[in-house]
Chains A and B, each alone.
Chain A
Amino acid sequence: MDRAMVTVDNVTRSFALPKGGTYVALKDINLNIAEGEFISLIGHSGCGKSTLLNLMAGLDQANTGGILMDSRQVTDPGPDRMVVFQNYSLLPWQSVRQNIALAVNNVMRESSQVERRERVEQSIALVGLGHAADKLPAELSGGMKQRVAIARALAIRPRLLLLDEPFGALDALTRGNLQQQLMQICQQAGVTTVMVTHSVDEALLLSDRVVCLTNGPAAGIGQILKVTLPRPRERLEVMEHPDYYRLRGELINFLQQQRRLKQHRQELGTSVVSPSVPQPAPKAVAMAQRTVRIGYLPGLDIAPMAVALDRGFFSDRNIQVIPVVFHRWQQMEEQLRAGDLQLAITSATSPLALALGQHGQPSWPAITPMTVTRSGNAICLAQRFRDLNVHSLSDLAALLDDRGSRLRLAIGQQGSMQDLLLRHWLASGGIDPDQAVDFQILSPLAIQSALRNGEIDGFIAGRYRVAKAMDAGLGYVLATDLDIWSGHPEKVLTCHEAWAANNEALLLDVCGALIRGGQICENGGQRDRLIGLLSRPQWLGNDAALALQRQLNLGNGQATSNLLPLNRYHSDRAHVANSAEGAWILTQFSRWGWSPFPRNRLELLGQVYRNDFCSTALEQEGLAALSPDRQPIQLACGGPFDQDEPLSYLEALPFTHNTAIAVMPLPSGTAKRATTTTETPAS
């Protein structure tokens, strides 16, 4: 995109409520607008569209973040930004000409009388009102009044035109004609425009990009749709363009999904967890001991929980955490479904897989309030491949071509993040995982002996498992997540949606304790103490210490250092429950033929990714609330992933099995047991 003329930088706007507390209208809005661009803001009532417009106009100030125009902060209204409201705001006792002249005289003080008059007449002509220049507003139709308002705004040559539902009060026909005129005027004047609208057709006709806002409170940008229709556009012709109804369908789907999310939240009896309503301090209130059972599998990913337990972060918050160890992912998820666990540290893909009911399971209303760890994976091959001179992915591809036999690779769980990373990496090197690989699902604990016994050729796992295999001289590292997706979400906290709704404060405290734990895990100075802790029998066991100390010796001759990072536990937005990453996961589910790509992905992601918990927990801990940015995700292999263009990404990937799209039934969080809402997909 061109250099931004207007930058909305991390804007949050909240309002104090009369009865105490605050209402967060907009949360963490980031948007760049290029010079000459036409942007529409669309969303349901109460989504903060007009609030955002007022902030750009300088009529209102953000609580955090700010608006930049030409790299200068917008602090008050100015003649470079003009606003047109739905109700025209003309002076009723002044004629069309006088209304416009008033604005011109006010702004063009340096100019001569002649210049000003010229400007007024030009502006009147621009909107085709020469014949009505001496009429009073009351003598004009609604459409004509709005044309006067637009002419007045443009007369002073603003750089940014802000339109707040300019045609909302007009009938369909007048509206259509005015839209056409507005488009021509904006193009002629080359003015950058931001328009708030409810109308999908209006947005498509006029805009270069449509910014879709999610429901309030704490509304954010849900999707940005690029309107690729060629210009100049004509209102009726544009609808006959082959892409028109696809784009229109995207917007309608967005609005429908937001509408259902709103209903869903209402049925659940909870709104988004509001970050600014102060939670009572647990210590100050006498509370019953709160007990939660958290499932996990041994690995470096449990470090934040181990630390939080060790340092008493849970008991400080009046929570008794019972960690429940499992050896198979499948088993743990079964217990989570059965309600025997309240929470589990699962693969980053599990919340979506559970919600969709993948791999033959019924769908289950899983949510994730936070990401526990990022990165930390490596792909390890058996030692004998090194002897065959396999040092890279292309070596491996060549070997497979030569031998014509299938590679036997172990993964911990089908459809896990590790499975997706491994498949994605193989495919990027021209290896079709479903043709060239036999995947074996093994408990992490069984991997080493399988490798020793020659039952597998390699595996993907956390660096700790890899380090152990290397220590035993069984394997070497061919790739790490740095070669695939640096900073990918690895393990997330997962629970039932209704449980979260009924235990908000408890869940926030658990998240808070894990965040504190994660902070310590990343503290290099605490590394030895951390290794000591993880080597205790209840976590990784006595024999872990050596592997932990050397776990970054990748066995490929690279230098090692005790100060190299382990997994990412805290820094660089590690905790964010990022629905864009969820969108990538959905593309992979679809790519490998496990489910159609959900047409209602935003609804699904909005239901599953509850970053509101994460932000609130961070704020409770006195840390800055984090929100995902909207930058495309940079994967080391394969192109960048833009969450707004998942289908074109999917289609461009090698070995994509499935590009079917369907409205996926979503679990209802109100029922403890999953019941699917039935909606007939498009035939």
Chain B
Amino acid sequence: MTTLSSSLETVDRDLARDPDYLCFEGVGQVFQTKNGPFEALRDINLQVAKGEFICVVGHSGCGKSTLLNMVSGFLTPSSGRVTLHDQPIESPGPDRMVVFQNYSLLPWKSVEQNVALAVKAARSELTAQAQASVVDHHLEMVGLLEARHKRPGEISGGMRQRVAIARALAVQPEVLVLDEPFGALDAITKEELQEELLAIWREHKPTVLMITHDIDEALFLADRIVMMTNGPSATIGEIVDVPFARPRSYEAIQNDPHYGQLRNHALDFLYRRHAHQDD
């Protein structure tokens, strides 16, 4: 119990330092389509603390990606505003890195070159030598030093996603945006990557916004789970606090009596209260 309460305090202190770090204030998003305007998101209000790990869950079409695109700056809200450090987000920048499910690596470059390219672009203040050691360090953290000279086509899906994560984190972004990064992976690789992601997150403590379909993944990773209602006009339906002590062990939290309660609560939201039309 000592570990539980003490680590809860640490987290709380960190988060309390800057609770309004990343803010969504009355954010709405309307797209113009040939059938007229389509309201994807409506009235999103969310304060994310610096260093917090947020998972966003919801059915497909609930506007999760739209939400993240406004953080990464690929999209600006039709109404309301998204701010980082009180500054509105208007364009993409190296302080916010995105990792997609499909890896988006350059297929003709090696693992190392893929990461180095990002480091070179985002951290030009470093000497070439310092940049190289940043690349090495991050490849090591995801266990890819041996595969560094391989091309994306020569490695497994799990390894490709490791490269994408190493690349995003090597830039040392303040905000890391993850769009279902592990959706396409098998269970073992997925769990390994989740553990690696948490280990890296502990080192840099970036603020993380991650989309996932997987409640178990969200319960393992997140400080809070943001649950979206169905679109159109999707909004935040509920926010669930995840109280498990960090560092977390997959088994320990599964055996925690709260686990089933939280999981059932989230499943109830998704599959009863906000069930989706089915084929």
* Chain A residues packing against B (C-beta within 8 Å): 44-45, 141, 143-144, 171-174, 176-177, 198, 235-236, 239-240, 244-245, 248-249, 252-253, 255-256, 259, 262, 599-600, 663, 679-683
Is there a chain A Cβ closer than 8 Å to B121's Cβ? no
**Set of chain B residues within 8 Å of A239, measured between Cβ atoms:** 260, 263-264, 267
Contact A599 B278 (CB under 8 A): no
Contact residues in A for B60 (Cβ distance below 8 Å): 171
Q: In the complex the two chains form, what is the Cα distance from A680 to B249 in whole Å? A: 7
Q: Which residues of A have CB within 8 Å of B255?
A: 249, 253, 599, 682
Q: Which of B256, B263, B268, B278 contacts A174 (CB 8 A)?
A: B278
Given contacts A173-B276, A236-B267, A599-B255, contact A198 B260 (CB under 8 A): no
| Residues from chain A with Cβ under 8 Å of B264 in the complex | 236, 239-240
Q: Most B CB atoms within 10 A — which of A172, A177, A198, A248?
A: A172
CB neighbors of A among B102-129 (8 A):
none
Decide: B186 and A45 in contact? CB cutoff 8 A: yes
Residues of chain A within 8 A of B4, CB atoms compared = 683
Q: Is the CB of B187 within 8 A of A252?
A: no
- B252/A663 in contact, CB under 8 A: yes
Task: Using A239-B264, A680-B249 as known contacts, say yes or no to A245 and B278 having CB atoms under 8 A apart.
Answer: no
- Is the contact region of chain B dominated by helix, strand, or loop, or is it mixed? helix
Residue of A with least CB distance to B278: A177
- Shortest CB-to-CB span from B54 to chain A, Å, is 20
What are 8 pairs between A and B in contact, CB < 8 Å? A143-B279, A172-B213, A236-B264, A236-B271, A249-B255, A253-B254, A679-B249, A679-B252
B100 close to A (CB within 8 Å): no
Nearest CB to that of B59 among chain A residues? A173
Among candidates A141, A245, A680, A681, residue contacting B259 with C-beta atoms closer than 8 Å: A245
Closest to B260 in A: A245
Query: Interface SS of chain A: helix, strand, loop or mixed?
Result: helix
Give the 8 A-B residue pairs with the shortest CB-CB distance, closest first: A245-B260, A682-B255, A141-B279, A252-B254, A682-B252, A256-B251, A177-B278, A143-B279
Q: Residue A256 contacts which of B250, B263, B267, B271 (CB distance < 8 angstroms)? A: B250
Q: Give the chain A neighbours of B260 by CB distance below 8 A.
A: 239, 244-245, 248
Of B188, B214, B256, most buried by chain A (CB within 10 Å of CB) is B188
User: What's the least CB distance linking B189 to chain A, in Å?
Assistant: 9
Interface string of B241-279 (1 = CB under 8 A from A): 000010001111011100110011001100110001011
Given the complex, which residues of B lie within 8 Å of A235, measured CB to CB? 271
Q: Which of B59, B188, B254 contacts A249 (CB 8 A)?
A: B254
Is A44 a contact of B188 with CB atoms below 8 Å? Answer: yes
Q: Check A681/B213 contact, CB under 8 A, given A245-B259, A255-B187.
A: no
Can you name the residue of chain B whose Cβ is closest to the Cβ of A215? B188
A370 to B226, CA, bound (A): 53
Query: How far, in whole Å, are A267 and B262 apart by their CA atoms in the complex?
Result: 35
Tell me, in angstroms, the Cα distance from A252 to B220 when the chains sit together: 13
The docked-state distance in angstroms from the alpha carbon of A386 to that of B126 is: 90
> Any chain A CB within 8 A of the CB of B33?
no
Q: Quote the shortest CB–CB distance from B230 to chain A (angstroms).
A: 11
Known: A248-B254, A256-B251. 9 other contacts (CB 8 A): A172-B214, A235-B271, A236-B272, A248-B260, A255-B187, A259-B188, A259-B191, A599-B251, A663-B251
Residues of B within 8 A of A680 (CB): 3, 245, 249, 252
Is there an interface contact between B271 and A683, defined as CB atoms closer than 8 Å? no
**A487 to B198 alpha-carbon distance, docked (Å):** 49
**A44→B254 contact, CB < 8 A:** no
> A683: which B residues are within 8 A, CB to CB?
1, 3-4, 245, 252, 256
- Give chain B nearest CB distance to A291 CB in angstroms: 37
B183 — nearest CB in chain A belongs to which residue? Answer: A171
Residues from chain A with Cβ under 8 Å of B213 in the complex: 171-172
A176 and B279 within 8 A (CB): no
- The CA-CA distance from A66 to B33 in the complex, in Å, is 61
Contact B279 A144 (CB under 8 A): yes
> Considering the chains assembled together, what is the distance between the CA atoms of A173 and B267 in angstroms?
11
Interface-central residue, B1, B4, B255, B267, by most chain A CB under 10 Å = B255
In the docked arrangement, what's the CA distance between A663 and B251, Å?
Answer: 9
Per the bound structure, the CA–CA distance linking A209 and B279 in Å amounts to 30
Q: Smallest CB–CB gap between B165 and chain A, Å?
A: 20
- A537 and B57 CA atoms in complex are apart in Å by 76
Report chain B residues within 8 Å CB of A259: 188, 191
The answer to whether B186 and A198 touch across the interface, beta carbons within 8 angstroms, is yes
A45 to B59, alpha carbons, bound, how many Å?
28
Q: Which residues of A contact B272 (CB under 8 A)?
A: 236
Q: A252–B267 contact, CB under 8 A?
A: no
**Contact partners of B191 in chain A: CB under 8 A:** 259
- The contact string, 1 if C-beta is below 8 Å from chain A, for chain B 109-153, is 000000000000000000000000000000000000000000000
Contact residues in A for B278 (Cβ distance below 8 Å): 143, 173-174, 177
Complex CA gap A144/B188 in Å reads 29
Q: Which residues of B contact A600 (CB under 8 A)?
A: 251
Q: How far is the CB of A270 from chain B (nearest CB, A)?
A: 19
Q: How far is the CB of A579 from chain B (nearest CB, A)?
A: 20
Min Cβ gap A143→B in Å is: 5
**Nearest CB of B to A262, in Å:** 8
Q: Kindly state the separation between the CA atoms of A106 and B1 in the bound complex, as whole angstroms.
A: 65
CB-CB under 8 A from A173, the residues of chain B are 59, 271, 276, 278
Give chain B nearest CB distance to A673 CB in angstroms: 24
In the bound complex, CA of A663 to CA of B271 (Å): 33
Report the separation of the CA atoms of residues A172 and B217 in the bound assembly, to the nearest whole angstrom.
Answer: 13
CA distance A236 to B215 in the complex (A): 14
Provide the bound-state CA to CA distance between A599 and B255, in Å: 10
Query: What 1/0 flags go to B208-226 for Cβ under 8 Å of A?
Result: 0000011000000000000
The smallest C-beta distance from B30 to any residue of chain A, in angstroms, reads 26
B279: chain A residues at CB < 8 Å are: 141, 143-144, 174
Residues of A within 8 A of B256 (CB): 682-683
Complex alpha-carbon distance, A458 and B213, angstroms: 65
Bound form: Cα–Cα A239–B266 in Å: 12
| Docked complex Cα distance between A541 and B278 (Å) | 81
CA of A541 to CA of B251, assembled, Å: 54
A680 to B255, CA, bound (A): 11
- Least CB distance from A598 to B in Å reads 12
- Interface readout for B134-176 with A: 1 if CB under 8 Å, 0 if not? 0000000000000000000000000000000000000000000
Name the contact of A45 in the complex, choosing from B188, B263, B271 (C-beta under 8 A). B188
Q: In the assembly, what is the distance between CA of A600 and CA of B252, in Å?
A: 11
Q: Are A44 and B187 in contact (CB under 8 A)?
A: yes
**Chain A residue at minimal CB-CB distance from B255:** A682
Shortest C-beta distance, A222 to chain B (Å), equals 15
Proximity bits, B183-201, A CB within 8 Å = 1, else 0: 0001110010000000000
Q: Closest residue to B272 on the A side, CB-wise?
A: A236
The answer for the CA separation of A76 and B254 in the assembled complex, in Å, is 42
What's the Cα separation between A144 and B186 when bound, in Å?
A: 24
Interface string of B9-23 (1 = CB under 8 A from A): 000000000000000
Tell me how far the C-beta of A204 lies from the nearest C-beta in chain B, rounded to whole angstroms.
Answer: 12
The distance in angstroms between the C-alpha atoms of A403 and B59, with both chains bound, is 73
Q: What is the distance, in angstroms, from B156's C-beta to the closest C-beta of chain A? A: 11
Chain B residues with CB below 8 A from A262, complex form: 188
Q: How far is the CA of A431 from the CA of B243 in the complex (A)?
A: 47
Interface centre among A143, A236, A599 (most CB of B within 10 A): A236
The smallest C-beta distance from A234 to any residue of chain B, in angstroms, reads 11
Distance in angstroms between the alpha carbons of A4 and B213 in the assembled complex: 40
B1 proximity list for chain A (CB < 8 A): 683
Can you name the residue of chain B whose Cβ is closest to the Cβ of A251? B254
- CA of A252 to CA of B60, assembled, Å: 27
Closest to A142 in B: B279
B87-111 interface code vs A (CB 8 A; 1 in, 0 out): 0000000000000000000000000
Nearest-CB residue, chain A, relative to B7: A680
CA distance A245 to B264 in the complex (A): 10
Complex alpha-carbon distance, A497 and B268, angstroms: 47
- Residues in B whose Cβ lies below 8 Å from that of A45: 186-188
CA distance A45 to B271 in the complex (A): 29
Return chain A residues, CB-CB under 8 Å to B59: 173
A240 to B268, CA, bound (A): 10
